[in-house]
Structure 1
């Protein structure tokens, strides 16, 4: 047996021995993600992001945490959402938009709630409102862009929970329905075809460096979208062309067709309506380098770059458990 085959086999065996923690506890908005760390690889949120202005939210719906978001009160939009990908067992639910009461009052309900006609002033000041998107005259072709898409969530309740404006950013229509949608489908396909364990995903935005754009003079429009996943447990017979996509994978998408091409070049051969909304696939390290430059910090999205640390004893035990029987036949 080759060294490479033995390592793949041993990794698979080791992962089978790891415990599975699926339960989520209940809690409330706090200064960290301590109540919903399950949504982060190795229970470790991204590091290096300047904390000022950001509010961690453990997104709770129907008495259960569904995903996590890092929200910026002044921008009235999230910087990122982190979740565990699971193929949907049904259709996209009706778009019933919700808000987070605790952003306005720390003692208020711990669950996201449906918008109603007469919202409290504190709620309006603390987060985005439906009217910000529907009544905006400053920018055209802006849609509600999911960071955690409903199509990446298994149950109807999980999918409904993604329809909170604390998970939404102003996204250009032909980015949202074009190249970015293609990326979301691609990631889902990678999971179904090759990922044999948990896939952690973090999707976020990069704001403009200068001259911020806003809808309704309130909600910041991102210049770029970005996404990365971690899938350390994958098929040992991974095709050669798929190897660059595991155990990690990342991408940056243009949300402004007039932006420069420093991070994502424009495909001049693309169809006119999506030209300028290109998405560039890249390594996790490339994405972290870009984010570090734009967010002014040394950014790490996945603890240890999503690489398992295995002692020699565990490797040998895993090889013996899973692989040695092959020599008997």
Structure 2
């Protein structure tokens, strides 16, 4: 019992003394082509820059909206499509770093069992397992899917609720899955490195009693490095209530996002990535 008390005291001290997270991706710039991040117009009012860390290694990067409790985007390096991973309902990770200076994702159930933080403390800045437990017509939609990674650690790292949005079940299992598993594999042939940024446009509806935003659209863009001087890029967008995914050029997606985000010119990748 003494060690539990000491852990609670330590967590409380960290909670009071350090309530901020980093304000850039300086610890994980490798997930962005030429270390160039998307335009700041995508940054929400109460943002968190998360270098997603599991087993002492960074696996991808996420810009997270703490007010809407959904990711704005996740950035990663695509690997040849592999089998997806499924996890039990209670297995999902949350991010203690949204509460205090603790850089590693941790399972929500373990945090609560070890009395590191209360559920109320976790819920203040992010979605929790119960927020996704009674969805109707919606599922947990990965922005960075486990099937785009080869190693077990990278696959498991995608199962953090900071990489998840409420996604229409029909598009998740239909057009979007086809894009993730078939279209990406086809388009990335010949690529030496494929940088991917997948995001969600905030919508007007909420789930979980108003806690978690339901995005109006899900989008993804890729910048493929094929050689020293040859590159290609592509993009896709889907409305979050229709089983359809529209193929776009990178430039077309950026134009679409510019309209969604109030007219500020949005760029997702370094200028070297072709827009047409």
The interval holding the TM-score normalised by the smaller chain is 0.7 to 0.9
Do 2:196 and 2:220's aligned partners in 1 also have CA atoms closer than 8 Å?
yes
1:277 aligns with 2:269: no
Tell me how far 1:301 sits from its aligned partner.
Answer: 0.4
Cα distance change of structure 1 residues 219 and 305 upon mapping to structure 2, 3 Å threshold: farther
Tell me how far 1:92 sits from its aligned partner.
Answer: 2.1
1:249 aligns with 2:234: yes
Aligned pair partner of 2:179 in 183, 195, 202: 183
Aligned pair partner of 2:92 in 93, 97, 107: 97
Aligned pair partner of 2:201 in 187, 203, 206: 206
- Aligned partners of 2:254 and 2:245: how far apart in 1? 16
Tell me how far 1:91 sits from its aligned partner.
Answer: 5.4
> Number of residues paired by the alignment?
244
**Which residue does the alignment assign to 2:5?**
none
Aligned pair partner of 1:60 in 53, 56, 60: 53
Cα distance change of structure 1 residues 91 and 178 upon mapping to structure 2, 3 Å threshold: closer
- Aligned partners of 1:152 and 1:204: how far apart in 2? 15
**Which residue does the alignment assign to 1:22?**
none
* Runs of 4+ that moved beyond 6 A: none
- Aligned partners of 1:90 and 1:225: how far apart in 2? 22
**Which residue does the alignment assign to 2:6?**
none
Tell me how far 1:50 sits from its aligned partner.
Answer: 4.7
- Aligned partners of 1:179 and 1:235: how far apart in 2? 33
1:174 aligns with 2:166: no
- Aligned partners of 2:237 and 2:82: how far apart in 1? 28
Q: TM-score, normalised by structure 2?
A: 0.82
**Which residue does the alignment assign to 1:20?**
none
SS in 2 for 1:277: coil
SS in 1 for 2:260: helix
1:70 aligns with 2:70: no
**Which residue does the alignment assign to 1:13?**
none
**Which residue does the alignment assign to 1:292?**
258
**Which residue does the alignment assign to 2:17?**
none
Aligned pair partner of 1:162 in 140, 158, 162: 158
Do 2:82 and 2:147's aligned partners in 1 also have CA atoms closer than 8 Å?
no
- Aligned partners of 1:222 and 1:30: how far apart in 2? 25
| 1:1-329 map, 5 Å | 29-51=21-43, 52-87=45-80, 92-95=85-88, 96-105=91-100, 107=101, 109-116=102-109, 118=112, 119-136=118-135, 140-185=136-181, 186-191=183-188, 193-195=189-191, 197-208=192-203, 211-233=204-226, 247-256=232-241, 276-296=242-262, 297-306=264-273
Q: Unmatched 5+ residue regions in structure 1?
A: 1-27, 239-245, 257-275, 308-329
Q: Unmatched 5+ residue regions in structure 2?
A: 1-19, 113-117
Q: What's the Cα RMSD here?
A: 2.2
Tell me how far 1:306 sits from its aligned partner.
Answer: 1.2
Do 2:69 and 2:127's aligned partners in 1 also have CA atoms closer than 8 Å?
yes
Do 2:82 and 2:148's aligned partners in 1 also have CA atoms closer than 8 Å?
no
- Aligned partners of 1:149 and 1:228: how far apart in 2? 14
SS in 2 for 1:71: strand
Tell me how far 1:214 sits from its aligned partner.
Answer: 2.8
- Aligned partners of 1:286 and 1:188: how far apart in 2? 21
- Aligned partners of 1:143 and 1:120: how far apart in 2? 22
Larger radius of gyration: 1
